[in-house]
Amino acid sequence: MKSSIRKKRDNIDIPTFWDAIGYKPSGIALVTADGENGPGGFLALSTAHVSANPPTMLVSIEKKTSALKIILESNHFAINILPLGTEELANLFTGKGGLKGADRFDPELWTIMTTGAPIYSSAIMAMDCIVEEVFERKGVSIVIGQVIDLLINQDQSAMIYYKGNYRSLPEEN
């Protein structure tokens, strides 16, 4: 039998919490927006659908993330789900690549749809959203947006984040 770690609620520290979150497989999402000073974005593990009628998504953003200001000023954002083989691109949006802001957006790899938010052309799926509501929770902003345009590239495999690493899903039969 494998060992397990159990922590009482008042003993959960931030590294332990993030370790636990790593056991929830997640699609790799780049959340992007374009503002007065150019595009910005970040790697998001917390995106979810809110409703299908109307199509609505949410994204959780730490308040210290520079892209939050761009999203709030521009009143839009895009959620780009990355395909296999884009680990380097994902890392650029975690700050590991050394590039910041507009320097992370190679014009040959990005396009726009309705709102003007950057859309990764090879994304498995991208949703272009208009901000509807913003909620504050401690050090996080929860941004809810209505999906007004979307892109689906059906012939791609998803890259996921699981237990601290990028991984692939098994091939479909």
Q: Where are the domains of the chain?
A: 27-163
At position 97, the amino acid (one-letter code) is G
pLDDT of residue 25: 80
Confidence at residue 83, expressed as pLDDT on a 0 to 100 scale:
93
Give the chain's radius of gyration (CA, Å): 17
Strand, helix or coil for residue 104: helix
**Buried b / exposed e across 101-121, counting CB within 10 Å, b at 16+?**
eeebbeeeebeebebebbbbe
CA 82/CA 27 separation, integer angstroms: 7
Cβ atoms of 31 and 41 within 8 Å: the answer is yes
Amino acid at site 25: P
> Model pTM?
0.88
The pLDDT of residue 173 is: 52
Confidence (pLDDT) at 163? 83
Give me the CATH topology for the region 27-163. Pnp Oxidase; Chain A (2.30.110)
Mean pLDDT for each consecutive 10-residue tract of the chain (173 residues)? 62 78 83 94 91 95 93 97 92 82 91 96 96 95 97 87 81 59
Q: Which two tokens stand for residue 119?
A: 């859309």
| CB 67, CB 31: distance < 8 Å | yes
Q: Output the pLDDT for position 14.
A: 79
